[in-house]
Amino acid sequence: MDPDRQSGNSTAVTSIAGESSDGRKICSNCDRPVKVCLCSIIPSEPISTVTRIVILHHPHEQRHKLATVPVLSKCLRNCDVIVGRRLHYGDSDVLDFLHDDAMRNPNFNSRAIYLFPGADPSLSQEISHWKSSKNIVETSNYVLIAFDGTWKHAREMMLASLSFLSKFAVQVHLDYDVGNDGGTIYNSDLILRKEPFSGCMSTMEAVAHCLRILEPNGIDRESSLIEVLRSMVKFQASFLKPMKPRPKLIKGGREGKI
């Protein structure tokens, strides 16, 4: 078995680091309350990638129980997480190097991309089309930049970082459909929170799909991360109560026929 794809098992030992402010015991490995420890689904050895992943993690997401980035960063060896609301020079040695290289070289061919769909796909390139472009076909050590937050926060973070990123990175997107509503944990085994429209996904799933395209062993890398995410969603869903369908309402607030 590929050591990069080994995952934990049900016999994983939880190491207790301390207690949270409300007195709950915290696992020292996954940093989650022991009752909802995820060590059994996190790979025992971080997955190696040629691609470097840099994630801007909104401060509010640190308090969110369903955030996927803390788990993602423990699954990937080459993943840097920066907590903040914008990216600028000095935050990351990798990004600083790319910025300086672009400033010195007028013929700079970008190997860095930042992932953000936006409402207007004409402003970005579909990631597989970007990769297959003639100028970068021989590049392999990509840098993938992602914004982790709510839809509103991610957009704010991207716009605030644009003056820096635009000097050396290209905006890309995965396929999505703003015309259809997004799913929820009740109707998908990969969704932890309600998504604004079809094709939107958690940061962990988005990174997994990007690695499928960017990595030499992309299918294996994607499968490993999706397996972890699917287990995470299944585990979280086990704590949910069944959701009752809402009755349809007609004008005046009266209940209508279903």
162-181 residue pLDDT tens: 999 999 999 999 875 444 34
Tokens in use for 107?
Answer: 């013929």
How far apart CA 245 and CA 255 sit, in angstroms, is: 13
Whether residue 9 is predicted with pLDDT greater than 50 in this model: the reply is: no
Whole-number pLDDT of residue 61: 83
Which residues have CB under 8 Å from 166's CB, separation 6+? none
Whole-number pLDDT of residue 246: 52
Whole-number pLDDT of residue 124: 84
pTM, rounded to two decimals: 0.76
Which residues have CB under 8 Å from 7's CB, separation 6+? 41, 42, 43, 44, 224, 227, 228
> Which residue from 141, 174, 137, 139 is spatially nearest to 49, judged by alpha carbons?
141
- Please report, as a single letter, which amino acid is at residue 199: G
Express each pLDDT in 123-154 by its tens digit.
Answer: 788 899 888 875 555 567 899 999 998 888 99
- What's the residue count for the chain? 258
Residue 194 pLDDT level (bands cut at 50, 70, 90): very low
The chain-wide mean pLDDT, for the chain, equals 77
What 8-state DSSP symbol labels residue 136? G
> Which residue from 31, 141, 146 is spatially nearest to 81, judged by alpha carbons?
146
The average pLDDT across 45-56 equals 96
Residue identified by tokens 């009266």 is 254
Whole-number pLDDT of residue 138: 58
> Which residue from 190, 181, 187, 237 is spatially nearest to 209, judged by alpha carbons?
190
